[in-house]
Amino acid sequence: MTFASDNWAGAAPEILEALSKANEGAVSAYGTDDHTKRVEARFSEIFERDCAVYFVATGGAANGLALSVLSPPYGMIFCHEESHVQMDECAGPEFLTGGAKLIPVAGAGGKMTADGFVKALKGFPHRPPHGAPPAVLSLTQATECGTLYSADELKALCVAAHEGGMTVHMDGARFANAAAASGASPAELTWKTGVDVLCFGGTKNGCIAAEAVVFFDLAMAKDFEFRRKRAGHLWSKMRFITAQFDAYLTDGLWLKLAAHANAMAKRLSGGLAAIDGVDISYPTEINEVFACFPGDTAEKMRADGEPFYPWITPGDPAGGRMNRLIASFRTTEQDVDEFLARVKQSL
């Protein structure tokens, strides 16, 4: 039982079986294999349009390389102040873009609003050659606070970005959880709202190392294969990434795994909210729960071997008291109920 991260959960059985099958025989390298071609076509089916899809092993590589295509080294990338590209990638986007400037924007619950973005954008008037030009709006779906952008919210943000001559990148490390929770189609949450490039994550939801960069405008992808190779992220045995996606996308497995994780988080959030003195900081919309415990309860539980993390960010509404708990495809009702019982005991 652990609520530290969905990264801790290992791989789904279907993914391991697919990897075992992919290991048989000799298969051509660098993405020229049948697994990769089949999965590329599958992405176009799922998103209801022709896509250019490139595979990497980590979310950090996906985000940084995608942004390197969208922004020049002297460009500005607007992102939420709590976003992964801003807080958790060790300046990887700046490195891979060759120096593009990240502009953090505040917003409640991990979400930017169109008005908030436009206000931030107006703070950087056109001043060539002194002022860096705005290049990209980077959004996270689902957000780092476990909240969701609606299709209408995304559309308003994308319209504002495009009117400003910018492109739109979406960090979808937990895109599966967002899609499962919202009930909207993948297309409705991405290109139909104006998103240009999506980093589609599999690693947090049952894969081992599987991330895809999906370009909805094929022309934008023209340099990506060179940037991926130059950065050392072109896998020679690409089939071991794409075989995971082959299983992941078959029969809606990606949505089933995410829906289960979301449901376990809802059970956990509801149980915690019913305990006197525990406060839920953000709405539990996907598989993440943000909670404040009374006194030193959280510290006691961590000392007793319950792994979950304190969560302090620039937009922290709880003065350093917040904790993040994450359910995964492997979390069971028993796991949740045992954790709730331990919270009560610690109190």
pLDDT digits (tens, 9 = 90+) for 64-115: 999 999 999 999 999 999 999 999 999 999 999 999 999 999 999 999 999 9
Give the pLDDT score at 34. 87
Which CATH number does the domain housing residue 197 bear? 3.40.640.10
Q: Domain check: are 285 and 189 in the same one?
A: no
Q: 220, 251, 282: which is the final residue of a domain?
A: 251
Evaluate whether residue 8 is within a structural domain: no
Q: Domain check: are 244 and 289 in the same one?
A: no
Q: Please, what is the average pLDDT of the chain?
A: 95
In this structure, of 58-62, 280-284, 318-322, 333-337, the range with the lowest mean pLDDT score is: 318-322
Does the pTM of the predicted model rise above 0.75?
Answer: yes
Q: What are the tens digits of pLDDT across the range 281-333?
A: 999 999 999 999 998 888 988 988 888 999 988 888 888 899 999 999 999 99
Give residue 65's domain range: 13-251
Q: What are the tens digits of pLDDT across the range 242-251?
A: 999 999 999 9
Give the pLDDT score at 35. 83
Evaluate whether residue 7 is within a structural domain: no
Between CA 17 and CA 45 the distance in angstroms is 23
Nearest 5°: the CA angle 335, 336, 339 is: 85
Q: 251, 279, 311: which is the final residue of a domain?
A: 251
Domain count, the chain: 2
Q: What are the tens digits of pLDDT across the range 232-268?
A: 999 999 999 999 999 999 999 999 999 999 999 999 9
Q: Domain check: are 257 and 167 in the same one?
A: no
Q: 235, 251, 267: which is the final residue of a domain?
A: 251
Evaluate whether residue 6 is within a structural domain: no
197: left (phi over 0), alpha (psi -120 to 50) or beta: beta
DSSP codes joined into one string, 221-280: GTTHHHHHHHTT---TTTHHHHHHHHHHTGGGHHHHHHHHHHHHHHHHHHHHHTSTT-EE
Q: Domain check: are 156 and 208 in the same one?
A: yes
Evaluate whether residue 4 is within a structural domain: no
Asked whether the predicted pLDDT for residue 1 surpasses 70, the reply is no
